[in-house]
Structure 1
Amino acid sequence: MKHNYMKKISIPLLVAALCLLAFITIALSISDNQIHRFDAVLINWIQGMESPGMTRFMQFFTWIGSELQVVVITVVVMLILYVFLRHKRELLFLASVLIGSTVLNALLKLVFQRARPTINRIIEVSGYSFPSGHSMAAFSLYGGLAFLIWKHIPSFTGRVCMIVASAGFILMIGISRIYLGVHYPSDIVGGYFLSGCWLSTCIWFYRRYLQRLSQLQAKSFA
């Protein structure tokens, strides 16, 4: 009985629920001013690496994660999916992930209205701080791409390299925002968890859609 029950548990929905719980925990900690020590420790450590070369390095990653570059990368990927692979459903999946992530970020920034850090700011940006738009966009884009590309990579080594590259871009884009002084670490981590929740939910719906489509096709040939 327990074995059958465990089989019915959807891993994407379980991941989504855990990510949502983590995001809510961070959001409540921010509201109660309980997360300042965590933010201060990480800010001091990351900004302690400041140098001209490191600043250029971090500016590159924050540029890669900016809105225009994310749009360009997304359009290029969609063209590849449509023109070369003819995967229209994957195209719609990726678009849904990114659009939903953008809308969620805009709405929640209005809800929390957290001011950005003011100490040691290397670049100037406007708008609210929590959750980080860069971290959400990076997680949604590179996480979504990793999910779509996974089945097209036959070798274990290739898959590991793809996961490492995706995780590296996501992590560095988030760190760059802390280094440049425009986000608290809790903004970044909160953005990761929120995007993880949204991406996992989209994966669940996408798999359900493919499953039902396969069942309908099987019935039509029966």
Structure 2
Amino acid sequence: MTQLSRRERARRWHDRFLVEERHLEPAARRRFYATAATMIAVGLVLFVALLVGVVTGSGLASFDAPVEDWVDDRRTPDTTAFMAVLAFVFGPVALPVIVLAVVVVWGLTAKHLWRPLLLAAGMLTGVALALIIAPIVQHPRPPVAEMLLGPDHTFSFPSGHVLGAADFFLLLAFLLASRRSRTWFTVLAVTVAIVMVVAQAAGRIYLGYHYVSDTAASVALSLVIVGAVIAIDTHRTVRAPGEPLESRTITGDA
């Protein structure tokens, strides 16, 4: 009886945290893997190119100062207020609270915790990468005189604000759209994610805290993270029609 009870507890834990399996045609599974591989490859190539450009002052990094000057000349009070709100919402204080709230509410209301856990893991990965890369590259921010919300003497490459926003919206778009299998919903989710990421990137440049190369590098890193999540999720959850679900196998053993 004790052994059966332990197996039953293990099965319940497994079903709650790790299952969320679904049946898809092999072609659909291949498309997910192809999308993941493309995002990872594009993200890595773009990030390396940007890193080399920042270190050598070439490539896209050569546009950093001209873009900064162009944006500075077009500042207005209303735009500054809007960008300041974006900076707060996706900053190191508010964004973790928002992510935690989404993960907790989603976890309490969902049948399985797999997707909320993936979202949390992807966000934490982005934070870790930003904290590791910035002090290694040591790319200085724009001049303090250009910063509209007070001085920031930390390093600039990559932008933690943009990386956090990109991870949050792109991961959320995938984790929601991949289960609905509705073209209109996928287009809407991806469009909203792109608009929010672009707005946040523009905001960091506008407020004088990052160069265009910093924000582009953050998007590149986010593509790698999201691509990895897509691959992991596909491997873990997608089963071919007729293939038994792993949760049923464990239930049978119990």
Q: TM-score range by the shorter chain?
A: 0.7 to 0.9
Contact 2:126 2:222 in 1 (8 A): yes
Contact 1:81 1:87 in 2 (8 A): no
1:120 aligns with 2:146: yes
Contact 2:156 2:214 in 1 (8 A): yes
Shift in alpha-carbon separation, 1:157–1:13, aligned structure 2, 3 A: closer
The aligned counterpart of 1:195 is 222
Task: Please state how far the C-alpha of 1:86 moved relative to its aligned partner.
Answer: 2.7
Counterparts of 1:95 and 1:214 in 2: how far apart (Å)? 28
Which residue among 73, 96, 102 is the counterpart of 1:71? 96
Letter in structure 2 aligned against 1:208:
H
Counterparts of 1:151 and 1:200 in 2: how far apart (Å)? 13
Q: Which moved more, 1:158-167 or 1:193-202?
A: 158-167
Letter in structure 1 aligned against 2:75:
E
The aligned counterpart of 2:246 is 216
Counterparts of 1:138 and 1:152 in 2: how far apart (Å)? 22
Contact 2:119 2:171 in 1 (8 A): yes
> Superposed, which structure 2 residues align to 1:1-222 within 5 Å?
10-34=34-58, 35-118=60-143, 120-123=146-149, 124-151=151-178, 153=180, 156-211=183-238, 215-217=245-247
Which consecutive residues of structure 1, in runs of 5 or more, have no partner in the other structure? none
TM-score, reference length from structure 1: 0.87
TM-score, reference length from structure 2: 0.77
How many residue pairs get aligned? The number is 217
Task: Please state how far the C-alpha of 1:129 moved relative to its aligned partner.
Answer: 0.3
Task: Please state how far the C-alpha of 1:31 moved relative to its aligned partner.
Answer: 0.8
Task: Please state how far the C-alpha of 1:155 moved relative to its aligned partner.
Answer: 5.1
SS of aligned partner of 1:110: helix
Which consecutive residues of structure 2, in runs of 5 or more, have no partner in the other structure? 1-26
RMSD over aligned CA atoms reads 2.5
Counterparts of 2:50 and 2:192 in 1: how far apart (Å)? 27
Counterparts of 2:61 and 2:125 in 1: how far apart (Å)? 29
Counterparts of 2:207 and 2:244 in 1: how far apart (Å)? 48
SS of aligned partner of 1:70: helix
Letter in structure 2 aligned against 1:181:
G
Which structure has the larger Rg over C-alpha atoms?
Answer: 2
Contact 1:15 1:200 in 2 (8 A): yes
